[in-house]
Structure 1
Amino acid sequence: MRRTRDVVAKAVERVRPGNSLPREAVELLDDAAFERELAEVARAQGTDADSARAEARAYLHEMAAHHGDRMTEQWAKVGSWFMRAYDIVVDEEQIQRLRRLDSQHSLGIAFSHRSYLDGMAIPNVLGARRFSPTFTFGGANLNLPVLGAVVSRTGIIFIRRATTDLPVYRLTLRCYIRQLVRNRRNLAWSIEGGRTRTGKLRPPVHGILKYLVDAVEGPGSPDTQVVPISIVYDQLHEVSGMTAEARGARKRPEDLRFVVRFARLQRTRMGRAYLTVGEPFSLRERLDELHGDGLTSHQAIERIALDISHRLNRATPVTVTAIVSLALLGADRALTLDEVLDTVEPLARYIGEREWPVAGGANLQDRATVRRALQELSSSGVLSQYEGGTEPVWSILEDQHLVAAFYRNTVIHMLVDRAIGELALLTMAELRPDATLPAGGAAEVGWDEAKRIRDLLKFEFFFPGRVRFEEDLRTELRILAGEDLLDPTPEQAGELLRQARPHLAHLVLRPFLDAYLVVAHRLAEQGDAEVDEEALLADALAVGRQWQLQHKVASAESVSLELFRTALALARHRGLLEAGPELATRREAFLVEIQDSLRRLDVIASLATGTRTDVPVTGVLGALR
């Protein structure tokens, strides 16, 4: 504890906060265009220009940052000390390609956000390789007394989240970012706006991106190369706190005591952190392309945000921790090393066929590698290891399912297409011989089912446009069939599904659909009545815990406020929260849809285990089984 305080204190002592503003802030206050925009805002607010200017100057003192050479060097050492729980693994070839871009362009670095450490790791990695200084955006909640003044001298820009009623603040931030781009500074921000609570990417936040687009579209402004950077960890100290919040615990405020506690946690080694660079793109060229397609500026920003998210997912490597967590969550019982390897082996083959990156180039089928991951998860308290029998077995500890799910979810995006493809095949295989088929035959039925599942999960995962989505599903079908099979019959669909290895739909989708089931059930119980969303979430959490004990949901990981909120977002999108025509009927239909989707997952699970279920299976698949 004393050493932690000393390290932080020494960093603070190296700076004496002053009243001078950094270069870009001074240039902005002298900018005639900014003066005119301030005057317009002042008139709209019924105040005078001098008051607006004074307000803008105060905001610039709050947000503006710069890179003091000595302070940046010292803070990099503090950052390395905070990162001492990890070895950072970087693809140096990716970094060298990025350096060539850095020499010619301003970089807009959009990173995934799983830890408070991200904001230290990325600038440290780039700074150690002699990149241009990076200005990183952080939440104003981290602008702690004195310490905030220190880190603002290392390029950290603290910004507020709630600015709806602060038009001068929004204008000042937008113009400050524009000035940074004019000066060809590198900017870094979390496209998610905050740390993920589930392990997978959160929906993108458009604020910084919107201002960056505004800067690039301005006359005479230089282009910016958008660079997605993914950072993923073998394990994280923070996950237990985040999963507690998902069960209803209150979030602790960030203060100096929090910083000390967080620093102390990093004394325990947690493996590796993997920093990978996604495919960069020119922001101006992408904007021109989208505007050429007839999209408005708002629509273009939404599309670019999704582009970034897709590229981040594509760059995120598979960790051994994630695959081991997937195997144990799917089994939901103790497994031997051989049983874990039996589950991982077809997954590893599939990952190789899809050419997904593997963290550190690890061999996912190597016994020693998988055993080490199991032991490390046991050491950190996620798994229990029992050695009293004939051979060791590992299982997820009772209150650690959400933690294991966090690690599993770092790779879940790469398995979703396969899971949806399995459900599409099942729908085709279940067609009765005397069924009346549409013009496109059984294949059209399968595509319609895939699109339905895509729509059901669109608030959970980032799906490409419909054309690309169908292309991806055809790729999955080609991997399953070993050839192009664009129009399978029900018989062929059933045979493909029966022979498929691995079966993933139940492993990937059940946790989410079980959570949706809880929310859909509580909504249906409300009949035609309007609902209070917070009360509904609290009710879902209580009922979810009951269903977990009764095994009405497959795993404790489905009892999560994060998943319930996503289900609520879907219900809101479908108009199921407010009074309307036939509301009770539509809520009941929503529940039935979720129940039927879960029934199909049960069928996939029975194929995976070679067992029968008590769910009736019709059509050709029943004969095959």
Structure 2
Amino acid sequence: MDDTTSSPQRGTEAPRVPWRLRLFGRLLESWIRIKPDPADPKSLLLPGVPVIYVTERYGLSDALILEQACREAGLPSALIPPPNLSTRRKRSYFATSMRNSLFWNPARRRPPTQPLAELVAQLELLPDADVQLVPVSIFVGRAPNRQSGWFSVLFSENWVVVGRFRRVLGLVLNGRDTHVQFSTPVSLRSVLVQERDQPRERTVRKISRVLRAHFHRIRAAVIGPDLSHRRTVVDAVVNAESVQEFVTTTASKENLTRELAMRRAHDYAVEIAADYSHTVVRSLSFMLSTFWNKLYDGVTMNHFDQVRAVAPGHVVIYVPCHRSHIDYLLVSWLLYTNGIVPPHIAAGVNLNLPVVGPILRRGGAFFLRRSFKANALYSAVFNEYVSQLYTRGVSMEYFIEGGRSRTGRLLQPKAGMLAMTLRAFLRESRRRPVVFQPVYIGYEKLMEGNSYIGELSGQAKKKESLLGLLRSVKKLRERYGRVAVNFGEPVFLDDLLQREAPDWRASAHEEKPEWFGRSVDALAESIQISINRAADVNPINLLAVALLATPKHAMAETDLITQLDLYKSLLAELPYGERMTLTPMTPQQIIAYGEQMQWIRRIRHPLGDVLTSEGKQAVLLSYFRNNVLHLFATSAWIACCFINNRRMARASLLRLSKLIYPFIQSELFLPWDEGGFLERIQATVDFFMRRGVLMPDADGRVLNRGAGQGDAAFQLRTLAHSLLQAFERYYITIAVLVKHGPHTISSAELEKLCTLTAQRLTLLHELNAPEFFDNALFKGFIQQLRERRVIWTDDAGKLDFDAALNIVAKDAKVILSREIRHGILKLAPEPKAAAMGPGTPAAPADSDKAA
């Protein structure tokens, strides 16, 4: 190891690293591989200010690792005294912990604050001098790689203060995975200026305390919080005042002894609680590294640096979209291998299988029942467990959709876990800052694809079992392409509460403040919008949007290339969000990749090849189309307006856009308000005019499309199809409701009739889109009609409406063809004669006159 020197004073010999440390350093350097964070620590330093490094613990290995990291980064040496400071220190670093000598001598034991006190005293004598303190965290054995051995996980970094022998083993087994994190320097002079009126001893203690807290936060972010034994957490939950009240109530209500009620509460807590093990987490990480390499062609992660910057000092709640059981493992593995502790994950109790459940529990999973509204004691225990995790600063992960999406769309959120987190936040007097981190996960193929289709088609959901898990192993032989994990814009809880209820702190102590429900709903919507804004557009998404828009899911290669180019240009010129990512493949490469993944098939023909997706593959592709449906909402809506119209005034387009936006916004979690949506419409129209898809008249007030047989009309028809089925569902709802009349059916009955009508329409027209008759989509549209006061519930619980509903039906004629409207009206179920009362409005008119 070369000598590291600092700028010597004139006439003096440059200080040198002692030969013993140089020798040990050479031996260690041959084995240690350092991963610095940030990649260029030198950029953090204050220019011209002497550097003193601060570490968490003393130790020869830590000193040598710090010296190697400084040399590799071009930083001043840590093993020689700082320049221009005449202190007794022989090194340029100190630790915040007590030094442990090999031969214990009470006379030589100095308090950990002494080096800091000496520096403060020196600066008091030199008013113009300064020192920058650079906190440095060192972790040996942080991230496994493919060369890691199983034995090495036992000696990875954790919270335990280990002895010299264990440290040596850790260096031997994990030294090539050494993580050194340099933090932002602190000017000691600036701190002394701020504390100039305080005694020196108090200032030294305060700086030392802040440094220790900093190292604790960094360690918690990198390897996880210092969790007590699971039994301690369970006892804290059961003995909490809120749980004790329900224990007493349950004992009285069910005529139980208090001991039996306490035992039941304890059993609930044991059933719920995770049993986090650093060793198991590291072992799983090692195993999953091999698993991902065999299952996928690669895992891409975007916008992670922002997560790393936010995590220290916050309780992070990861809220991914939920599309596969793989989601649980993938997010935790990515966080762990990139230097952030994996969160505790709320998992359905159906995953608490023999063998698998205990492993998941030790990996951080805590289990919850699907519904526990009827069990007040269980609800109290679960709420208290979430509060305990928050109080201890444990990051969490849960899926606010409530279950995996079977359609590929984001589901309407179930806000139970959000409400529990908000309650935990409000009840603490010293509130830890909370940030919700949305995560978009994009696949190119799903292991559960076939089962999703079956469930949407009416088959019963198969219960998870160990035998079913073993049977699924054969699916590992298939190819699943690449996976993208995009971290969206974080949602800070403090900021959201300030927007929704500026005076929330005044009523935070109340059981349920009036703004509570509103804030939870706003939080859920913000998370879903942020997930959608971070979408990844992969080749399979684009192929699905294009091919599924044609009657036989087939397209000439030249037309497909043109359509793919239109989609890519649209998303590139008008990006949906700053964190959206788009495949760099060209249209030709996208087609070749789709063939390679066996999503599409090429049919050779002398006049030009045709690309097609057939049978079950076409149905499965609808899932990946729905992943990105929201990205094309604006352009598809404009295209829909020109399916049956050659010309349309801009004013008419904007009027219809204002009318339809609340419904598609609710269904697709679009990010704009009404004004923002209209601006987006104008920008998209301008894009279409630049591409020659739409043409303005002389004064620009009327828009025209080309002839029905032209390329421009074909591109619009293809683009419109992605949103057309939504309007067909809307029309089904209105047709069924008007056909039955007011005061005849309830919301639940309307949902059922709409679902049956859509199923029948699918059978008759061979629509390969199982999500077309998804009950949740009808439920969401009916809810929007009620919120907009288009329909309402009477005293008997039946739906009422007036003639204004016919106006909505009339506007549908602009979008839907006469054939589709007539087909829906014919298929809509007839009401019972007895239910039809006087004054029932007529069914929607089927005239083709434009609105």
When normalised by structure 2's length, the TM-score is 0.60
Measure the CA separation in 2 of the matches of 1:211 and 1:241: 32
> Mean alpha-carbon deviation: is it higher for 220-229 or for 80-89?
80-89
Task: Note the residue ranges of structure 1 that are not aligned, 5 or more in a row.
Answer: 1-9, 15-19, 433-441, 483-487, 550-554, 603-614, 620-625
Residue 307 in structure 1 maps to residue 516 in structure 2: no
Measure the CA separation in 2 of the matches of 1:284 and 1:140: 31
Tell me the residue number matched to 1:438: none
**How much does 1:322 deviate?**
0.6
Residue 508 in structure 1 maps to residue 725 in structure 2: no
Q: What SS does structure 2 have at the residue aligned with 1:162?
A: coil
**How much does 1:25 deviate?**
2.4
> Mean alpha-carbon deviation: is it higher for 467-476 or for 226-235?
467-476
Residue 281 in structure 1 maps to residue 491 in structure 2: yes
**How much does 1:347 deviate?**
1.1
**How much does 1:560 deviate?**
3.7
Match of 1:213 among 422, 426, 438: 422
Tell me the residue number matched to 2:745: 530
Assess if the C-alpha contact under 8 Å between 1:216 and 1:283 holds in 2: no
Tell me the residue number matched to 1:171: 380
Measure the CA separation in 1 of the matches of 2:391 and 2:348: 23
Q: What SS does structure 1 have at the residue aligned with 2:702?
A: helix
Q: Please tell me the residue identity of whatever aligns with 1:536.
A: L
Assess if the C-alpha contact under 8 Å between 2:645 and 2:814 holds in 1: no
Change (3 A) 1:46 1:110: farther
Q: Please tell me the residue identity of whatever aligns with 2:724.
A: R
1:426-454 Cα deviation digits (max 9, x unpaired): 9999679xxxxxxxxx63x5443112212
Match of 1:109 among 309, 313, 318: 318
Tell me the residue number matched to 2:769: 557
Residue 182 in structure 1 maps to residue 400 in structure 2: no
**How much does 1:120 deviate?**
0.8
> Mean alpha-carbon deviation: is it higher for 495-504 or for 46-55?
495-504
Measure the CA separation in 2 of the matches of 1:481 and 1:536: 42
Assess if the C-alpha contact under 8 Å between 2:697 and 2:703 holds in 1: no
Q: What SS does structure 1 have at the residue aligned with 2:501?
A: helix
**How much does 1:172 deviate?**
1.3
> Mean alpha-carbon deviation: is it higher for 197-206 or for 390-399?
390-399
Residue 362 in structure 1 maps to residue 583 in structure 2: yes
1:64-118 Cα deviation digits (max 9, x unpaired): 00321232233334544654321443336x2233223223222100001111100
Q: What SS does structure 2 have at the residue aligned with 1:367?
A: helix
Measure the CA separation in 1 of the matches of 2:587 and 2:655: 40
Q: Please tell me the residue identity of whatever aligns with 1:452.
A: L
Tell me the residue number matched to 1:598: 816
How many residues align? The count is 566
Measure the CA separation in 1 of the matches of 2:388 and 2:816: 52
Match of 2:614 among 380, 387, 397: 397
Measure the CA separation in 2 of the matches of 1:360 and 1:414: 11
Change (3 A) 1:534 1:358: closer
Measure the CA separation in 1 of the matches of 2:250 and 2:655: 50
**How much does 1:389 deviate?**
5.3
Tell me the residue number matched to 1:385: 602
1:241-277 Cα deviation digits (max 9, x unpaired): 2122212222111111221233321221110010111
Change (3 A) 1:22 1:274: farther
Assess if the C-alpha contact under 8 Å between 2:697 and 2:704 holds in 1: no
Measure the CA separation in 2 of the matches of 1:453 and 1:373: 34
Tell me the residue number matched to 2:412: 203
Q: Please tell me the residue identity of whatever aligns with 2:769.
A: E
Measure the CA separation in 2 of the matches of 1:105 and 1:501: 51
**How much does 1:51 deviate?**
4.4
Match of 2:669 among 462, 469, 474: 462
Assess if the C-alpha contact under 8 Å between 2:346 and 2:368 holds in 1: yes
Assess if the C-alpha contact under 8 Å between 1:111 and 1:190 holds in 2: yes
Q: Please tell me the residue identity of whatever aligns with 1:186.
A: S
Tell me the residue number matched to 1:269: 479
Measure the CA separation in 2 of the matches of 1:455 and 1:44: 46
**How much does 1:167 deviate?**
1.1
Q: Please tell me the residue identity of whatever aligns with 2:723.
A: L
Tell me the residue number matched to 1:566: 777
Q: What SS does structure 2 have at the residue aligned with 1:152?
A: helix
1:307-366 Cα deviation digits (max 9, x unpaired): 011110011111110111111011234223322111111111111012357987633434
Q: What SS does structure 1 have at the residue aligned with 2:460?
A: coil
Measure the CA separation in 1 of the matches of 2:689 and 2:475: 49
Q: What SS does structure 2 have at the residue aligned with 1:449?
A: helix
Residue 225 in structure 1 maps to residue 439 in structure 2: no
Measure the CA separation in 2 of the matches of 1:594 and 1:579: 28
Q: What SS does structure 1 have at the residue aligned with 2:477?
A: coil
Q: What SS does structure 1 have at the residue aligned with 2:524?
A: helix
Tell me the residue number matched to 1:331: 550
Assess if the C-alpha contact under 8 Å between 1:204 and 1:305 holds in 2: yes
1:459-483 Cα deviation digits (max 9, x unpaired): 522134434434443443454567x
Q: What SS does structure 1 have at the residue aligned with 2:408?
A: coil
Larger Rg: 2
Change (3 A) 1:508 1:22: farther
Task: Note the residue ranges of structure 2 that are not aligned, 5 or more in a row.
Answer: 1-149, 155-228, 505-513, 691-695, 707-711, 821-846
Measure the CA separation in 2 of the matches of 1:158 and 1:409: 30
Measure the CA separation in 1 of the matches of 2:699 and 2:470: 62
When normalised by structure 1's length, the TM-score is 0.79
Measure the CA separation in 2 of the matches of 1:401 and 1:72: 39
Measure the CA separation in 1 of the matches of 2:253 and 2:807: 48
**How much does 1:180 deviate?**
0.6
More helix by share: 1
Residue 417 in structure 1 maps to residue 634 in structure 2: yes
Tell me the residue number matched to 2:94: none
Assess if the C-alpha contact under 8 Å between 1:515 and 1:567 holds in 2: yes
Measure the CA separation in 2 of the matches of 1:43 and 1:88: 57
Measure the CA separation in 2 of the matches of 1:538 and 1:466: 30
**How much does 1:168 deviate?**
1.3
Tell me the residue number matched to 2:594: 373
Change (3 A) 1:618 1:164: closer
> Mean alpha-carbon deviation: is it higher for 564-573 or for 281-290?
564-573
Measure the CA separation in 2 of the matches of 1:455 and 1:587: 16
Change (3 A) 1:599 1:561: closer
Change (3 A) 1:179 1:527: same
> Mean alpha-carbon deviation: is it higher for 258-267 or for 495-504?
495-504
> Mean alpha-carbon deviation: is it higher for 210-219 or for 419-428?
419-428
Measure the CA separation in 2 of the matches of 1:332 and 1:106: 50
**How much does 1:419 deviate?**
2.8
> Mean alpha-carbon deviation: is it higher for 357-366 or for 410-419?
357-366
Change (3 A) 1:248 1:31: closer
Q: Please tell me the residue identity of whatever aligns with 1:248.
A: G
Measure the CA separation in 2 of the matches of 1:144 and 1:26: 25
| Identity between Structure 1 and Structure 2 (%) | 19
Measure the CA separation in 2 of the matches of 1:119 and 1:446: 43
Measure the CA separation in 2 of the matches of 1:560 and 1:427: 22
**How much does 1:202 deviate?**
0.8
Residue 157 in structure 1 maps to residue 366 in structure 2: yes
Assess if the C-alpha contact under 8 Å between 1:527 and 1:584 holds in 2: no
Q: Please tell me the residue identity of whatever aligns with 2:722.
A: V
Residue 53 in structure 1 maps to residue 251 in structure 2: no
Measure the CA separation in 1 of the matches of 2:237 and 2:659: 50
Assess if the C-alpha contact under 8 Å between 2:745 and 2:799 holds in 1: no
